[in-house]
Amino acid sequence: MKIFAISFTLLLVVSFSAKAQDCEHAGLTMSAVRTCLYDKLDKDLNSVYKPLYQSISAKNHTAAVLLKKSQLTWGRFVEDSCAFTVEMNKDMLSDDARYNCWADFTTARIKVLKDWSAQYRHAP
């Protein structure tokens, strides 16, 4: 279990080192740094989701409704999955476990949304 906790911490450091450099001066506490990192990643997510939703809404109402539904469903899935992760990693700080989990899911979701956006731009 300790190896798992170390892996999570290493993933946080490696995956978000560029963002961390910007956020390391956000405050004197790890909580302030986590909040900064969360805000940056949330903005990244919204910067991909919102334009995709707007462009699809203008041309295909049904697809826009389904995209919105998938985003809401994804959010609930992430919350439940990260609650499970926190519970299973009691030897790790719960805020770190929750953030690492959320960041992994959010990074993956951004990639999916970018892929969908590219497909939509190239659709007939």
Q: What is the pLDDT of residues 46-60, one digit of tens each?
A: 999 999 999 999 999
Whether the per-residue pLDDT at 33 is higher than 70: the answer is: yes
DSSP state of 87: H
What pLDDT does 89 receive? 87
What pLDDT does 31 receive? 86
Looking up tokens 């299973």 gives 88
Range of the domain at 76: 2-121
Angle in degrees, CA 47, 51, 11, rounded to 5: 30
In 1-124, where does DSSP find H-type helix?
2-15, 17-23, 30-59, 61-88, 94-121
Q: Count structural domains, the chain.
A: 1
* 77 band by pLDDT with thresholds 50, 70 and 90: very high
What is the spatial distance between Cα 15 and Cα 104, in angstroms, rounded to a whole number? Answer: 9
Lowest mean pLDDT among 8-22, 68-82, 85-99: 8-22
Would the pTM of this model clear 0.85, i.e. be above it?
Answer: no
DSSP state of 16: T
Residue 70: C-alpha distances to residues 67, 74, 92, 121 (Å):
5, 6, 31, 19
Q: Which CATH number do you get for residue 38? A: 1.20.1270
